Structure 1
């Protein structure tokens, strides 16, 4: 990774890149009020406002300081992700407004959602995520169980739709969850790696995703990645948002025993012991009277 840094000041934000890039195109979209420049995906994102409307702009083509890959790969991934936001369009998913080639890169523009990312590693890394009173994750974990169950219902319902549309979630984790604390609203973002079925783990143990959410097959080369995998992901999500994350003991669980039993079955290490679809998992979860 280059040690050279190029500093940019655009409207209200300052950020650095490894290589120079012309952002004249960005200011045409509006006034830049926020930047997200700590992603290892190669994407650089901005909050912009124009005529009273706010938008989230995801851009690939530059080299953020935290990116050690090839910008061309980031561009390809973003372009390939565009159809996902149309195929899986939902009130629970951030809404794609437009997308276009710009210079040597590519941009996708979404409606702005006033939520906070539950894995804001660029502000609250490590222990601060869990314990800092301003951390979105900390604040989320201090919501009532009822509020978090309603939030989980949005997440589970969206992934039931994903399954119904013939897709599987890849790289879903708490960094994909936005929560608007003022309005108790949950939205999914960053579904760029979701895939059409059938598909397999083509990267081995480095398959996309957070180890806190990944199933055993997401560490094994050529293993199937399917709805049973997503059942595990949903169970792991329940333990992160309602329990002790990787500590899946009942002692750390905050909801009912019936819900704990459903989540525990979902994260069974043996695929055949899990629910065999997200729909079956959600049906069992709903039958516990979760919300």
Structure 2
């Protein structure tokens, strides 16, 4: 049973209950967050914290990091999906909450990592399957009112052995539509919608459709024509909402499968 509160720093507590086998902080995350891989006698966890409250080099202050961790916990409690690691507990500490997630195996798909090109070199059908699960997740998030923020390839892990996609680090997703208060928002320009570059622009479910279509454009080098048409529409004329994009993607996928079945009979 994990406690609701601890009275020691996060790292001290984690060293007491298990072995820290990985640390992600300075040099790997510029947000100021510090995360840990922790192994106990029975399982492994991924534990995310707000990091050092005195870190002045992070692009977010300590209170903002704490707020985003609480936002991530709200998202995890509101949506359950196989791509999302289970959130086992939120433990309060003198240095903010510890979000204790299930550990997920996989390689980071960020373009600076070897898995990026390896993933893009997979058979088209395998990439499509991964995208299908990503889009199914976002259908659930969309239905719960969540709008993306700072989603890009480094928000995903891929286990090449089990062909399983994991999506994580959704701290900047918003519950409901919102306005761009930054101008140039956080994220990778390869995945961002035009409104994520414009101060005051609305960020809503249309943005979700654009970002997901850009994900396909980046990760699926040679999409079948039917899917390519959906990607083009999502990033030019634009779909009115995410559900319209998702339905169009499912329809195009069905067309591909029907055509394949007809050719084999």
Band the TM-score falls in, shorter-chain normalisation = 0.7 to 0.9
Q: What is the alpha-carbon distance in structure 2 between the residues aligned to residue 51 and residue 169 of structure 1?
A: 36
Residue pair 1:61, 1:106 contacting (<8 A) in 2 also: no
Task: Provide the residue aligned with 2:223 in structure 1.
Answer: 255
1:119 aligns with 2:110: yes
Paired position in structure 1 for 2:152: 173
What is the alpha-carbon distance in structure 2 between the residues aligned to residue 64 and residue 148 of structure 1? 39
1:41 aligns with 2:23: no
Structure 1 residue runs of 5 or longer lacking an equivalent are 1-20, 130-134, 244-253
Task: Tell me how far apart the structure 1 counterparts of residues 79 and 30 of structure 2 sit (CA, whole Å).
Answer: 24
The 5-angstrom pairing of residues 1-291 of structure 1 reads 23-37=11-25, 38-62=28-52, 67-119=58-110, 125=112, 129=113, 135-205=114-184, 207-243=185-221, 254-268=222-236, 273-289=237-253
Greater mean alpha carbon deviation, residues 168-177 or residues 56-65: 56-65
Deviation at 1:67, TM superposition (A): 2.5
Alpha-carbon RMSD across the aligned residues, in angstroms, is: 1.9
Structure 1 residue matching 2:226: 3-state secondary structure: helix
Q: What is the TM-score of this pair, normalised by structure 1?
A: 0.78
Work out the CA distance in 2 between the residues paired with 1:159 and 1:267.
17
Q: Do the aligned partners of 1:95 and 1:111 also contact (CA within 8 Å) in 2?
A: yes
How far, CA to CA, are the matches of 1:201 and 1:266 in structure 2? 20
Q: TM-score, normalised by structure 2?
A: 0.86
Aligned length: 244
Asked whether the 8 Å contact 2:177–2:205 carries over to 1, the reply is: no
3-state DSSP class of the match of 1:288? helix
> Using the alignment, how far apart are the partners of 2:60 and 2:172 within structure 1?
16
Tell me which of the two structures has the higher relative contact order, counting C-alpha pairs closer than 8 angstroms and 6 or more residues apart.
2
CA deviation after TM superposition for structure 1 residue 76, in Å: 2.3
The answer to whether the Cα contact below 8 Å between 2:10 and 2:95 also exists between their aligned partners in 1 is no
Answer yes or no: is the 8 Å Cα contact 1:94–1:187 preserved in 2: yes
Structure 1, 226-235 or 194-203: larger mean CA deviation: 194-203
Gaps of 5+ in 2: 1-8, 258-265
The CA distance in 2 between the partners of 1:57 and 1:93, in whole Å, is 14
Distance 1:45-1:140 versus aligned 2 partners, 3 A rule: same
Q: Deviations over 1:125-176 (max 9, x none)?
A: 4xxx4xxxxx111211121111100000011111111111122111111111
